[in-house]
Amino acid sequence: MQYLTVDRLEGTYVICEDKDKKLFAIERTEAPAGVKEGDVLRIDDDGTLSVDTAETDRRRAGARKKQSAAFRR
């Protein structure tokens, strides 16, 4: 199983980034419906793409925590 983070939506493509910072362009028609920037996509062994809402929420909470800590200084 692999994870990609949606970096941006660009025209007919969903631009994603993997853990190694490599970028991938996925056609919107191939992406899960309603996908948006910051979503974490899970690629199952059979190639199925889905939004991993739990992982998305976890990463967004971590980012908010880092931002909050940075502004307290």
Q: Are 32 and 6 in contact (CB under 8 A)?
A: no
pLDDT at 8 over 90: yes
- Number of domains observed in the structure of the chain: 1
- Report the candidate in 17, 49, 51, 25 with the shortest Cα–Cα distance to residue 36: 51
Q: Which domain holds residue 23?
A: 2-71
pLDDT of residue 73: 63
Exposure string over 45-54, b if 16+ CB within 10 A, otherwise e: eeeebebbee
In this predicted structure, the answer to whether residue 72 has a pLDDT above a threshold of 80 is no
In 1-73 the beta strands, taken as DSSP E runs, fall at 2-10, 13-17, 23-27, 40-43, 49-51
Is the confidence at residue 50, as pLDDT, over 70? yes
What CATH number did the domain enclosing 12 receive?
2.40.50.140
Question: Across the chain, what does the average pLDDT equal?
Answer: 94
Predicted local confidence at residue 56, as pLDDT: 94
